[in-house]
Homo-oligomer: A and B are copies of this chain.
Amino acid sequence: MYVVCVSVHVTNEHVDHFIEATLENARNTRNEPGNVRFDVLRQEQDPSRFMLYEVYRSPDDFAAHQQTAHYLRWKDTVAGWMAEPRAGVRHRSVFPADAEWK
């Protein structure tokens, strides 16, 4: 699997807006054929920091996601709400085996 972990630091006044826009993006992304997971997490120690845990079957599936209307809308919508630029780190999965991901 191809796993992108995106760290997002949101300005305090836009946290609720960010959650709303990100849930819409997450739900739409889960309907992409190449998407396996889209978990949205909020840091315990700093609730203005989020982690998006995005799992795709391949790098091509991630590239396709970045062309979708819902991703582009999310990207534009949240752009002004970041306290600092968001950072995505790309990984290959080691465990579990590909057939066991859900």
Chain A residues close to B by CB (< 8 Å): 3, 5, 19, 22-23, 26-27, 38-45, 50-51, 53, 89-96, 102
| Min C-beta distance of A41 to chain B, whole Å | 4
Establish whether residues A93 and B3, one from each chain, have CB atoms under 8 Å apart when the complex forms.
no
Majority secondary structure, A binding face: strand
| Min C-beta distance of A45 to chain B, whole Å | 7
Closest to A50 in B: B94
| Min C-beta distance of A94 to chain B, whole Å | 4
Establish whether residues A94 and B43, one from each chain, have CB atoms under 8 Å apart when the complex forms.
no
For A95, list chain B residues within 8 Å (CB).
22-23, 26-27, 38-40
Given A3-B39, A39-B3, A94–B44 Cβ distance below 8 Å?
A: no
A–B complex contacts, Cβ < 8 Å, 13 sampled:
A3-B39, A5-B41, A22-B94, A23-B95, A26-B95, A39-B93, A39-B95, A39-B96, A41-B93, A41-B94, A44-B91, A44-B92, A45-B89
